[in-house]
Structure 1
Amino acid sequence: MAKIAKRAGPRPYRSLGTTSDGVVILTPKVAPTHFKAGEIRRIIARLKREEADREAREATAQARAPSSPKKA
């Protein structure tokens, strides 16, 4: 935490916008050090694709599986 505060300096936060109920959305004082926005977007898109593929495989497997006879 001390590194971030030292690197950020005494600058005030900038307002990104205000919601309809009056909450002000602030921008971070410094850029992220580990992940960039593009990297995060690519990872989220990849995870969504993988989830859709997994669901499609499960649906195909269920459709191919023979239905078990119902007991009376």
Structure 2
Amino acid sequence: MVVDKQSPVDAYGVAFRKEGIGFRDAFDDALRSNGAMKELYAEKYGVANWEVLSRIHWASDVVPTCE
């Protein structure tokens, strides 16, 4: 991965082990339901593509072959 510190933030990711599915789901539900994810992503960091990213829940939403 190459990080260009001069470019604006486009996306972020949080990875969980397959064994952590319950925690992953709770993490995702909590941040989405109380607006914290949108506040950080769209409002604090000014990422313009929040509406697109808010519909992505699983890696397979981006890469269908990903488990």
TM-score (norm 2): 0.25
Where is the strand percentage greater, Structure 1 or Structure 2?
A: 1
Return the structure number with greater relative CO, CA threshold 8 A, min gap 6: 2
Greater C-alpha Rg: 1
